[in-house]
Each structure stands twice: as structure tokens, then as C-alpha cells.
Amino acid sequence: MQFFKPYTLNLGGRLLSVDSPLVMGILNTTPDSFYAGSRCDSEELIRNRIRTIVSQGADIIDIGGYSSRPNADDITPEEEFRRLSLGLRLIKEEAPDSIVSVDTFRASVAERCVGEYGVDIINDIASGGLDPQMIPTVARLKVPYIMMHMRGNPHTMTQLTDYTDVTADVVAWLGAKAKEAALAGVTDIIVDPGFGFSKTVEQNYEMLAHLELFATLDLPLLVGVSRKSMIYKLLSTTPDNALNGTTAIHMISLMKGASILRVHDVAEAREAVTIFNATFSPKNQ
């Protein structure tokens, strides 16, 4: 058991003290994300999604304009930023006080999102591996940086699943990348094991079983499993029917030290956090 460890985030000079796990609501401004229910490629759909995320109690809105599902179509940085711009503009209108994270692996896109829209956090599936300018750019922008483990890219990652010990290998890799970022001047780092990226279904559950080992990095831990194939393949179902499995993994993750849950279904994740807090509050330990 690895209980929640409080931490702080510096959001553009505003220090956020976090004493309970956060819920990050996913806003996909894409036409091809793996979960059809999350696709928002029109102003009306994006606006409605923002309202839902906020009303259901998300702490962070994570907006992405590039689908990272296996074999998704590649798009240009210009198209990615165009998609993000629409969503970021609507967030400013619908939820101007929200903490906003941008899911991108491109330094130029990250820089424009922070510079033009005041985005608070950069969420990079490649930890700088797909753009060598990303880490120095984040350091210069002075925003928190989510570093995820992935091998290759979304087109090659399913073939790159050879590990000696998946958990130990991923912990070591993230530790090295976090050290690289810190030496470059990144001051707020969050790590993401990358469930579903460069890992088989079995390896995902092996890593989940030993998730508490990520505490050795002494960094906030983000878990993103929402409706992923590790759930629906195991249960012989579909992303549309993977909510119950998602919630089960969320509770396991919280009990093993997760700091942030990145989710499609905000209300259900918020309930899991509430139950976790009530059960494992200091007075009950």
C-alpha cells in the first residue's frame, strides 16, 4: 500500500498545494481518438464537453489535438494547433479559471499554447523523445511538465514491448528522463507510466500490480487508463463498455499512490477519489 503524498505545483507563479488526488478531464479536439465518445471536433461538442468536465468536478482540463492511438493519422503542427486553438478559446469563454494542460509532444505547439492562451501544464507522451526542443522549451516556459513513458511513436510502439522487468525498466527510464529535465531547468515534473503505450495487456497489469514502486522517484504520479485496451481486451468488451473496469483500476491506482487520474468520465473518477479519501483519511490509518 502506498498512500497519497501531498505535493505542490507552480502554475505561472501561483503555487498550488495538492493534498488530495486530482482528477484530470480529457478534452479531445480530434475526429479519431480511440474512444468515440470522447471525440469533439465541432464548437458545439467542445463547448458541451467543457461544461461537462467542469460541472462534474475536474481539477484540470487536459486538451489534445493529436490522436496518439496506435496507427492514428499523422497531422501537421499547424493542424494540431488549429484544433487546440478552438478548444482553448472555448475554455477561456466557458471556464476561464480552470487549470489547463495541453497534450502535445511538439515544442512549437507547446510554446504557442502557453504564450497565446496561458496554458498551465504541458503533457508530453514522449518526454521529449519526439522533439529534442521540448524539454528546453518547457524549462524556458517555466510550466509543470508531465513526462510519460513510451517507446518509439504511436505508429511503432506496439512492436516495442521487450522488457527485462517492465516496472523496473519504466521506473528507471522515467527517473533518467526526469533527471534530464531537472538539469535543463524544469522545476515541476509529473511522471506517467504510460499504460497502453509500448506495453502488452499483461505488462500493463504487471506494472499496475507494482505501481507503488514509482514512489521511489519522489514525483507526483499520473495514471491514465481510462477505457483503454488493457481493460476492454481483458474483459472482451469495447471502450464504450469499459467504464466499470476503469473505475476498478482507478481505485487500485489510488491505493498505490496515484496523484492524478486522467479520465474521460469525471464524475465517476471524482466519486472514486471521494471514497478513497474517506477510507484512507489520516484518522483511519
Give catalytic residues, as residue numbers.
228, 262
CA 220, distance to chain mean position in Å, is: 12
Q: For residue 189, which of 198, 180, 197 has the smallest C-alpha distance? A: 180
C-alpha cell at 159: 512492436
| Rounded-to-integer distance, Cα 105 and Cα 126, Å | 6
| Rounded-to-integer distance, Cα 160 and Cα 198, Å | 5
C-alpha cell at 263: 479520465
Mark residue 118 as left, alpha or beta (left: phi above 0; alpha: psi -120 to 50; beta: remaining).
Answer: left
Pairing of strands 14-18, 7-11: antiparallel
